């Protein structure tokens, strides 16, 4: 794919923005989806470009409209990269049903809706690549971000099962599992309403845990380093089923499930509990 046609969600900032720019400079035509849109960009040397599109991944009709536009303008769609996401922190007991659903609507159901809008296209072409941004938190559960960890774990398993379903149609799937990454995601993370009350029995530990996480994120990998892994899979003939950027996170994920559950949870508790 010298000039792939790509739909990329969460393209306005962080990993998504970096990936869109890298892909553009490789010659790709990227439809960069976000809720607020943006300004078109063209590569200085080459044919690559970023075409911003307003699209909320929780609204099925908006997704279908964008896919229809891509097909009308290009006659094909080669890759969808599901990168849009958000985060919410707070103890399970301090999380309302509405706050819990907020976490799942974008990070899981938004991904499913986006992929489902693209699957008929990929099947008819007998080709297509699906890339989704999960997280190391899918492997290593983070206390007080329990719903974030659980939704990323759900997404990881979803992508693996989907791989089996769509393989006969020539469609490939890949999950990207970043660890701590320095992006605007840290500042945009929400805390549940109940967790912000000093009367919460989890108040002190929750704040200590989130402060540690935010410090790690702001000293973490660059968005570009994660984006490069996404770009590599786009152009790789045979995508990997999952990719963990950063050697330290590869080691963590490799070792985590090879020690007793009580020990690994004790270690995570020491760091974040």
Which active-site residues does the annotation give? 12, 134, 148, 152
In sequence order, what DSSP letters do the residues of the chain get, joined into one string? --S-EEEEESTTSHHHHHHHHHHHHTT-EEEEEESS----EE-SSSS-EEEEEE--TT-HHHHHHHHHHHHHHHS---EEEE-----EES-GGG--HHHHHHHHIIIIIHHHHHHHHHHHHHHHHT-EEEEEE--GGGTS--TT-HHHHHHHHHHHHHHHHHHHHHGGGTEEEEEE---SEESTHHHH-EE-TGGGSTTSTTHHHHHHHHHHHHHHHHTSEEHHHHHHHHHHHHH-SS--SEE--SHHHHHHHHHHTTS-HHHHHHHHHHHH-
Q: How far apart are CA 38 and CA 142, in angstroms?
A: 33
Q: How far apart are CA 260 and CA 190, in angstroms?
A: 32
Going by C-alpha positions, the residue among 132, 134, 124 that lies closest to residue 166 is: 124
């Amino acid at each position: 794919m010298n000039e792939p046609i790509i739909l990329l969600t969460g393209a306005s900032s962080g990993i998504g923005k970096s990936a869109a720019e890298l892909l553009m400079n490789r010659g790709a035509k990227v439809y960069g989806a976000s809720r607020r849109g943006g300004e078109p960009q063209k590569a200085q040397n080459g044919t690559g470009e970023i075409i911003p599109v307003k699209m909320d991944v929780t609204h099925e009709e908006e997704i279908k409209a964008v896919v229809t536009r891509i097909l009308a303008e290009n006659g094909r769609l080669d890759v969808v990269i599901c990168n849009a996401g958000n985060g919410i922190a707070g103890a399970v007991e301090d999380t309302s049903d509405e706050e819990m659903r907020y976490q799942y609507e974008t990070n899981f159901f938004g991904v499913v809706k986006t992929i489902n809008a693209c699957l008929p296209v990929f099947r008819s072409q007998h080709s297509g690549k699906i890339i989704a941004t999960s997280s190391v938190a899918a492997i290593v559960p983070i206390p007080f971000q329990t719903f974030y960890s659980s939704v990323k774990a759900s997404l990881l398993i979803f992508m693996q099962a989907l791989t089996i379903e769509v393989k006969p149609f020539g469609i490939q799937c890949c999950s990207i599992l970043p660890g701590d990454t320095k992006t605007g995601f840290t500042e945009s993370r929400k805390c549940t309403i109940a967790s912000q009350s000093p009367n919460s029995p989890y108040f002190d530990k929750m704040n200590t845990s989130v402060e540690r996480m935010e410090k790690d994120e702001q000293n973490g990998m660059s968005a570009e380093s994660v984006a490069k892994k996404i770009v590599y899979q786009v152009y790789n003939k045979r995508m990997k089923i999952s990719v963990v950027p950063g050697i330290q996170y590869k080691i963590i994920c490799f070792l985590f499930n090879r020690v007793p559950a009580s020990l690994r949870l004790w270690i995570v508790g020491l760091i974040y509990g």
